[in-house]
Amino acid sequence: LARGVAGPDLAGRHVVVSAGGTREPLDPVRFLGNRSSGKQGYALARTAAARGARVTLVSANAGLPDPAGVDLVHVGTAVQLREAVLKAAADADAVVMAAAVADFRPAVYASGKIKKKDGQEPEPVALVRNPDVLAEVAAERARPGQVVVGFAAETDDVLANGRAKLARKGCDLLVVNEVGERRTFGSEENEAVVLGADGTETAVPHGPKGALADTVWDLVAARLG
Ligand code: CTP
Ligand code: CA
């Protein structure tokens, strides 16, 4: 068991984890997407299951093998992810939003493949906002005492941006990591600072994504009491 804890400290708990990255379709063959591999979210799901939790993993386009002992819900878009997360959150003790949710989606979906026109420049792609699932879950708190955790990848002013984002989202914990060309995406390892709404700051040194997952569950378990 993680960190030498005596028993499965998440036994009897239901936790929801979102993982991967949403894809927002332009037409039947194209989408707007992002580089999230899903590995951190899958590590969170596996770790929670190992610590005794019932786990619902809402997975967006991760292309990873299904973890054993986890209820898996596959989704494609942000709107689908919202629906699956809100449904599972209704009786959850904790919700961890590790998925990279697209902020925008194409305003129009072309039901047929978009074609080039001879001698014409392409039309610009109009976008609309997607719902903010984390902010919605945090505002709703489907169950009293539910612990809500967000993730943030930042490239600049990591801690200041993280603090502001934590407040804006209204979540209990925000896992902030610095990203760049060669950092985090697709890698097996991660390095982060977990900010608490109570002002706490927990630094997690560079290491396997499973170790960061265990720290997140330690902090969640402490808040569940
Ligand atoms: N998130 C979400 N719904 C969205 C966008 C983000 O639930 N439409 C969640 C992510 O799953 C993550 C957290 O919010 O847990 C932070 O995501 P991030 O993209 O860093 O936050 P944004 O508010 O979208 O800020 P930014 O403009 O920096 O992208
Ligand atoms: Ca975003």
ipTM of the modeled complex: 0.99
CB 151 less than 6 A from any atom of ligand 1: yes
Ligand 1 atom closest to the Cα of residue 165 is 23
One-letter amino acid for residue 21 of the chain: G
Ligand 1 atom closest to the Cα of residue 18 is 11
Give the orientation angle of helix 133-140 with respect to helix 158-169, to 10 degrees: 50
Alpha carbon distance 29, 189 (integer Å): 32
- Catalytic status, residue 34: yes
What's the 12 CA to ligand 2 centre distance in angstroms?
A: 32
Catalytic residue selected from 34, 61, 177, 190? 34
pLDDT score, position 1: 47
Q: What is the pLDDT of residues 27-50, one digit of tens each?
A: 999 999 999 999 999 999 999 999
Name the closest-CA residue to atom 24, ligand 1. 103
CB 177 less than 6 A from any atom of ligand 1: no
**What are the distances in angstroms from CA 210 to CA 1, 2, 179?**
12, 10, 18
**Residues near 74 by beta carbon (within 8 Å), at least 6 away in sequence:** 59, 60
Alpha carbon distance 61, 199 (integer Å): 34
Question: Which residues of the chain fall short of a pLDDT of 70?
Answer: 1-7, 180-185
What's the 5 CA to ligand 2 centre distance in angstroms?
A: 35
pTM of the model: 0.95
pLDDT score, position 178: 79
CB-CB contact of 102 with 130 (8 Å): yes
Q: What are phi and psi of 199, to 5 degrees?
A: 95, -5
CB-CB contact of 10 with 222 (8 Å): no
Q: Largest alpha-carbon pair distance within the chain?
A: 70
Return the sign of the alpha-carbon dihedral for residues 61, 49, 178, 102.
positive
Q: Which of 218, 208, 201, 213 is nearest to 184 (CA)?
A: 208
* 169 assigned to a ligand binding site: yes
